[in-house]
Chain A
Amino acid sequence: MSDSDKSPYPPSGESRSTFEGHRFSDEGLQRKHAQLLREKEEPSEGFSPMPLFLVFLIMILSFWAGIYMVEYGGYFDAFHFDETATPGILVQDTGPQEVDMLALGRRVYSQNCAICHGADGSGQAGVFPPVARADWVQDNPERLIKVTLAGLAGPIEVNGRPYNNAMTAFGRLSDQQIAAVLTYIRTDPALGNNSYPVSPELVAQVRAEWGARRNAWTGPELEEIHGPVTGNWSPSNGSTPETAEE
């Protein structure tokens, strides 16, 4: 084989019938052996100095380590969990915060509703009704609150199309979260709905009245209470108390 001829350590040609006996008669091998020995015996005390760059590397890393521990050491305090915080300065109480209902609603929607109703609110034909440009959404808010609190099951019609599935109850959400998400779907221009906002007080009121209900609502049940879905509800034409208004 050609490459084994060129190789300094061939798996041997004919010259070595037994490896042990003829080891030192192989000239190439001896030469290489000598080279290697020479190469290795230069440092007289058997002590090769450390490469200079390695010394620098160790120095730089140690320096960095010291800086890092001072900077992010958390003052070596067992109860200091945020490496960037300074001790003694607690988060200052600036009083009650104004909540942006649209932003909160968008977050609640993306965490709870978007899985079925879609991030753009388009739903899925026959299964998940849309919330974008939907008559139900622009109708009486109490109907929506009831659905959100206890869920909805069975056939319904949205925008004239039939849907038949079960929606989970979201009673675990707070009044403010439910008000925010309903405000978001009713007023956000991206979803194409143009209706009135929903206040947390209204949600609290409906929850007080219907919160004990465990089984999901059905379409006909809701229709019995609130009448048919029209899609053009307003505080003036609906039978809703004033709390729905801001």
Chain B
Amino acid sequence: MEFTSYIILGLFFSSFLFIGAACVLYWAYRNGQLNNLEAGARSIFDEEEEPLGTQTDFFPDKRRKSKR
């Protein structure tokens, strides 16, 4: 009996999570987040500071050597 009551309690709490996830997925769809996915992949690059096609991290000594 106790086990069943725990299951019901668990279902109650987890339903929040699942409904929440469903709402978020619906929001993402309505918001157009799932439309142009490949452009989304490029959204992390910044033309001014860290542009596409440029490596942005090196070992410190590598950079010093190339400076000379």
Contacts and interface: CB of A to CB of B under 8 A. Distances in A.
A41 B4 CA distance: 54
Contact of A1 (B39, B41, B65): B65
Contact of B37 (A20, A37, A46): A46
Interface residues of B, number: 21
Contacts, number: 47
Interface in B1-57: 3-4, 7, 35-39, 41-42, 48, 51-55
A23 B63 CA distance: 17
A33 B53 contact: yes
B38 A46 contact: yes
Secondary structure of the A side of the interface? Answer: loop
Interface residues of A, number: 22
Contact of B4 (A1, A23, A45, A78): A78
Contact of B66 (A11, A36, A40, A41): A11
A29 interface: yes
Interface string A28-51: 010011001100110101111000
Contacts of A36: 52-53
Nearest to B54: A9
Interface of B: 3-4, 7, 35-39, 41-42, 48, 51-55, 58, 62-63, 65-66
